[in-house]
Amino acid sequence: MGNCQRCIVKELSKLSTLTSSQLKQVSACKTATSFKKGDVILKEGSMLNGVYCIKEGKCKLTKLGPNGKEQIIKFITSGDMLGYRAVLGEEPVSLSVVALEDMAACFIPKQDILTVFHQNKNFSKNLFSNVCNELNDANTIITNMAQKTVRERLAEALLFLEDTFGHDEDGFIDVVLSREELSSVVGTATESAIRLLSEMKKDRIISLEGKRIKILDRAVLKRIGFGF
């Protein structure tokens, strides 16, 4: 089994405030887990008795919409911690988490993470500011959803995805999303997203190869998405 001192300190930039002995403690009680692409790691509404630290892989955080349609709220990758809000607040999980590819994670039981939370002020402070940042992000998304067109949001989403996941060796955005998932990020009908992608392809702003998307003209995309 791995060692948190190496893993967490190296990877959890924002959550790397544990002391050496705390790390050892957490390391001792964690359980390494893996998930396959498509696995539901957390389910909206369920209770949780520990948190997950993501070592490897990408996942989407989703919320069920009014008509049972999933809304993608956020993406998570290596270094992030999942489920701490539910554990600390003793509340049901607020978002489902689904693996977008095979993943490696560590499960840390509730008791142990709570202990660290109460012992280490920096750790709790970090979690607090993490939630605050998420809230700021969410407010920005609300504003964009309310005020931008689908086309603008799609352009922004593509830039965001590239920014978040980088590109593979061929220059394609390094995350595989179905058109349906992409349209859920943007907040539009699947056909609309497809149509706009085709247009952008025709205009040589992006190129498409199966599900993979490559940004060809970043400047134009920025102009569409941000107006400059």
Partner DNA sequence: ATAGACGAATGACAAATGTCATATTTTTAA
Partner DNA sequence: TTAAAAATATGACATTTGTCATTCGTCTAT
| Per-residue contact flags (x/-) with its own copies for residues 36 to 75, judged by CB under 8 A | ---------------------------xxxxx-x-x-x--
- The Cα 126–Cα 15 span in angstroms is 7
Residue that is written with structure tokens 């940004």 in the block: 215
Half-sphere exposure of 20 (CA within 13 A, CB side): 0
Comparison of 143 and 178: residue with beta carbon closer to DNA: 178
- Verify binding: residue 29, its own copies, rule CB under 8 A: no
Comparison of 151 and 167: residue with beta carbon closer to DNA: 151
Residue that is written with structure tokens 């920005």 in the block: 140
State in angstroms the smallest separation of the CB of 87 from its own copies: 11
- The Cα 41–Cα 62 span in angstroms is 11
User: Of 28, 32, 47, 135, which lies in the binding site for its own copies, with binding defined by CB under 8 A?
Assistant: 135
H and E: helices and strands count for the chain: 9, 10
User: Of 89, 170, 209, 210, which lies in the binding site for its own copies, with binding defined by CB under 8 A?
Assistant: 89
- Among 130, 83, 106, which Cα is nearest to 6's? 106
Comparison of 91 and 191: residue with beta carbon closer to DNA: 191
Query: Which part of the chain contacts DNA (CB under 7 A), choosing from 44-52, 106-114, 135-143, 206-214?
Result: 206-214
